[in-house]
Structure 1
Amino acid sequence: MRSPGRTKRFVSAVALVVTGALAVSACGGGSSGGKLVDGSWDDVVAAAEDEGKVAFYIGASADQAQRVVDAFNEKYPDIEVVIEAGGGDIVPRVETQMKTGTEGADVFMHADPAWYRAHEDELLTLSGPSGEGLRADAWIVPDKAVDVHGSPYSMFVWNTKMFPEGFSDWDDFLKPEVKGKLGFRADATKSAAGFLDFVETNVSEDYLERVGALKPKLYPSVVPITQAVAAGEVGATVAALPSVVKQLQASGAPLDFAYPDEGYGIEYVSAALENATHPNAAVVFMDFLLSTDGQESLNGDGYGVPARDGVEGALDPAGWTWQDSEKLTPDVLADWGRKLDRALK
């Protein structure tokens, strides 16, 4: 498990070939009515195919989730995956489901490791073959929740028609020609507040105030900011996600990007929920997500940092600072909200 409060470093290593048998925990499924079978992995897969469905709730790009689903269905064509993507709003929806026992998420992926630690008793136990060979620090909750995707967040993105020379340094965004053309977040979620804390600590104590002087256009998350850059509504941003940028580039948007030498990233954790309506399909989906093929679909092509070594095309942002969600308490978030209000509004 990763220790909160320290900078994580990811290093390359040889690929690991993993084999083994799966013995799924025989604990009961959720109050929605599902039950994990007590048997072999083949029995679990058969039960998952009988369930025929798994609901994948993800606090990230739906396009990135679709990459995973497409790869999953190549191996398990008889299990339909329903994607529900969202931002910070998806957390209370999942929590309501967990409290009321209503149908909803079977597998939940979100950028807040602390949330999974706080809900350890409400997660299904995983003990399958794909759980073997993961990085030791990938397990956020041992045998239950995994850091499946490390995503850069400090990401310089610009519209190549508006800024053909691009941006290579934090100070490039403070130039007079950027005034009124910068997209910036308006709220202080954990991801955004952690980013602001990183900038204040590692870039400049008054960077937020200097950005405010440029009269940036404000948005509720990095997704609409990046879309606005692609559309030419604004010209650049200092925070984005590779999954969003790459999908827009693939559609022909005039975007380019660069990573700063000192960067900040967020960790997306995934787990199967104990009250899953389709618990067997949930553990089968999680097992695939942890496999080399699953990790490549989630992190390959430069999309992110994987939970295991040897994933082709994955990022290796050695030396980046990663979000410490434990220290981003409600009081800290409220304080950053007030700082944003003073600097930007």
Structure 2
Amino acid sequence: MNPSHTRRRTRRAFLSAMTAAALAAALTACGGSGSDDRITSDSIGSTGPAGDDAWQQVVEAAKAEGEVTIYSSNAADALAELGRRFEADYGIRLNVVRDVDANLHQKIGAEAETGNRVADVVTQASAPWAVNLGASGEFAEPVGPAFTDSAGEYDVDTLKDDTGYFVSNASVLTFGWNTQRHPDGVESYSDLLDPTLADGRIGIVLPTSTAHVDFYDNYLEQVGGEGFLEKLAQQRPRIYPSALPLAQALASGEIAVGAFVQDQKSEQQSGAPVDSAFGDLVWGAPMYTAILADAVHPNAAQVLANYMITPAGQEAVSFRNAAVLPGIGSAVTTVDKVAPQNTDAMTPEALEELKARFGRLFNQ
């Protein structure tokens, strides 16, 4: 098969035209605990293929630069762990600017206009933004051996675009339950229609972004069947403004089941009576990473981008989320299990229609 054809097909499958600011806030608001036992020191030093002499020269130049800056909407704890590992393996300091995608886009645009570049690498969830900047030549081609060496496990043909951006992980959300209020647990979204969960025992989120259009109108229809939202409304669930208060309500026992939460193992290890699970098809957003063509630390940016798709980097950035490599212990799934999104339907107009429909169904 022609690799370029594969890349074009995969881009269509992965393009997630979502309101990135709201999505990033929802995905990262429930950041995990650094004490989670899935984060270990075993993979530090697992930096993938060694590369050739030319790559070693890049590494030495990166060490001479001494630092690199990433702008990212990934969870703060994952970024902190990435920085700790990266410095341990290479002696290069990672400066992190964490914000929601819309703000990062503005900062990167302002830096380009003023010529005062700060960012070296960017990770965010808006595929259209990555497509537009990539097409404009604003990204540098990653040249690390994790991308170029056949010994690497990263699927370049599927996950990297010709213009330079690549998928480094995917943020995912799922269903969870309070083990005291609902000890039988939940195996699928269809279980939310159990009559014993009616009358305020389920928590869902208010639609506030085009990401919710995909969740309610596309994903839940795929995994729960046609008319799922109408059936869910008959359960009379509680409505929460975002994922964070919903997760807090789940841990406190205010609700028995939450329909839009992160993997709950960290909270469980901290003593909260909660659990979660994932179906065969997971809802979430691929995170698109790129090296800026005018990066201040171009060599360190290359080394960081390469590191992010090695086992050591993946254990950090994929914590509680979907990994791009198999066998990552901190991840809950892999990116190929993330459901393709109906990007054509994810429009501001569709969001307003969903809000109106949601209001009618749930008396909001």
Common fold: TM-score over 0.5? yes
Check if 1:161 corresponds to 2:175: no
> What TM-score, normalized by structure 2, do the two folds share?
0.72
> What TM-score, normalized by structure 1, do the two folds share?
0.75
Question: SS of 2:271's equivalent?
Answer: coil
1:293 to 305, 312, 333: 312
Tell me the residue number matched to 1:35. Answer: none
The 5-angstrom pairing of residues 273-312 of structure 1 reads 273-299=292-318, 303-309=320-326, 311=328
Tell me the residue number matched to 2:227. Answer: 206
Change (3 A) 1:334 1:177: closer
Check if 1:142 corresponds to 2:147: no
Moved more, 273-282 or 61-70: 273-282
Change (3 A) 1:318 1:79: closer
Change (3 A) 1:277 1:342: farther
Amino acid at match of 1:230: A
Partner deviation per Cα, 1:13-43 (whole Å, 9 max, x = no partner): xxxx735337xxxxxxxxxxxxxxxxx4444
Moved more, 334-343 or 117-126: 334-343
Tell me the residue number matched to 2:12. Answer: 4
Moved more, 159-168 or 94-103: 94-103
Contact 1:267–1:323, Cα closer than 8 Å, also in 2 = no
Give the deviation of 1:128 after TM superposition.
1.4
Give the deviation of 1:295 after TM superposition.
2.1
The 5-angstrom pairing of residues 160-239 of structure 1 reads 160-174=179-193, 175=195, 177-196=197-216, 197-213=218-234, 214-220=236-242, 222-239=243-260
CA distance in 2, matches of 1:58, 1:6: 19
Amino acid at match of 1:323: Q
Check if 1:247 corresponds to 2:269: no
Moved more, 82-91 or 231-240: 82-91
Tell me the residue number matched to 2:73. Answer: 59
Contact 1:49–1:281, Cα closer than 8 Å, also in 2 = yes
Give the deviation of 1:286 after TM superposition.
0.8
Change (3 A) 1:340 1:70: farther
Change (3 A) 1:158 1:83: farther
Question: SS of 2:140's equivalent?
Answer: coil
**Once superposed, what is the RMSD of the aligned Cα atoms?**
3.4
How many residues matched? 315
CA distance in 1, matches of 2:157, 2:221: 27
Contact 1:182–1:236, Cα closer than 8 Å, also in 2 = yes
Amino acid at match of 2:156: A
Question: SS of 1:211's equivalent?
Answer: helix
Q: Which structure 1 segments of 5+ residues have no match?
A: 8-16, 23-39
Change (3 A) 1:177 1:83: same
CA distance in 2, matches of 1:101, 1:251: 46
CA distance in 1, matches of 2:204, 2:107: 26
CA distance in 1, matches of 2:101, 2:317: 18
Larger helix fraction of residues: 2
Change (3 A) 1:194 1:137: farther
Check if 1:70 corresponds to 2:84: yes
Give the deviation of 1:126 after TM superposition.
0.9
Q: Which structure 2 segments of 5+ residues have no match?
A: 1-6, 16-47
The 5-angstrom pairing of residues 258-273 of structure 1 reads 258-273=277-292
Check if 1:124 corresponds to 2:143: no
